[in-house]
Structure 1
Amino acid sequence: MNTFKKVILIDDDQINNFVCETIIKSEKFADTVVSYEWAEDALANLKKSAEDAPEEFPELIFLDINMPGMDGWRFLEEYRKLPENITSKCSLFMLSSAVDREDIICAKGHAEVKDFFSKPLSPEILSIIREDFVS
């Protein structure tokens, strides 16, 4: 049985999204995986889901930091504006190639961010999430 019903990936790297989707599916981590290369598109769909179909809101989000247009930090600012009764049921993790200590500290300083992981996504990271963040 899969751990989550729906997981979203927000990363401008199409190849990374493909690799992440493959790992998530092979590890039976989620029933559905949806990738967005633009944070703006992800946010628009999350807003629509929160308003029209809260049951479709993802249970987990992997968010990159450095993206063109809306970066991960700006996404978090907008994500905070979504209804808390919906977002509280979603675990958000930063998944980034950024190794800047300040980025890691900043990410962990956001209440919405459960943890920060360095790319690439791996079965070990999914295992950590299962063990530490699934009740």
Structure 2
Amino acid sequence: MAIKRILILDDDPISILISKKRLEAEGILNDEIAYESFTDPKEAISFFQNREEENYYDFLLLDINMPEIDGFQFLNRIEPLKPKNLKVFLLSSSISPNHIEIATQYSLIKHQFTKPLDENNLRIFKTHFNME
């Protein structure tokens, strides 16, 4: 699957910037890839609700711990939209066993990464999208 669209949802703008810079440095994020980021889950939900299914993003880096709506609540809200081509990768500072267990219940979640993105995370990411 060729990546065409990447979305990052994290309440911390610095984390978004670090992730974006790492993706750019690896050549994953470039001028041919649509990119969007949100610090507010409500805005991201609206973003998904106002798009046709074929225009959903391919890849979502999703923080778990966010105020008001956490990453899992966000997924609960977008799953009914049937974003079948969306691959979600949790990118969180949380290493809670509870979060790890909850994540296994979502078919959209393909992997869990610990912040910040590192070489191993990026290698795993690339294999999910046939980039290596």
TM normalised by structure 1 equals: 0.85
The corresponding residue for 2:35 is: 33
Residue 124 of structure 1 and its aligned partner are, at CA, apart by 2.6
1:8-19 mapped onto 2 (5 Å cutoff): 8-19=7-18
Amino acid in the other structure paired with 1:119 = K
Residue 62 of structure 1 and its aligned partner are, at CA, apart by 0.7
Amino acid in the other structure paired with 1:32 = A
Distance 1:45 1:69 in 2: 17
TM-superposition CA deviations, 1:25-48 (whole Å, max 9, x none): 121213232110011111110111
**Residues 3, 129 of structure 2: 8 Å contact kept:** no
Distance 2:3 2:122 in 1: 11
Match of 2:84 among 88, 93, 117: 88
1:115-130 mapped onto 2 (5 Å cutoff): 115-130=111-126
The corresponding residue for 1:77 is: 76
- Normalized per residue, which structure has more helix? 1
Amino acid in the other structure paired with 1:43 = I
RMSD: 1.5
Distance 1:22 1:67 in 2: 21
| 5+ residue gaps, structure 1 | none
**Residues 23, 123 of structure 1: 8 Å contact kept:** no
Alignment length, in residue pairs? Answer: 126
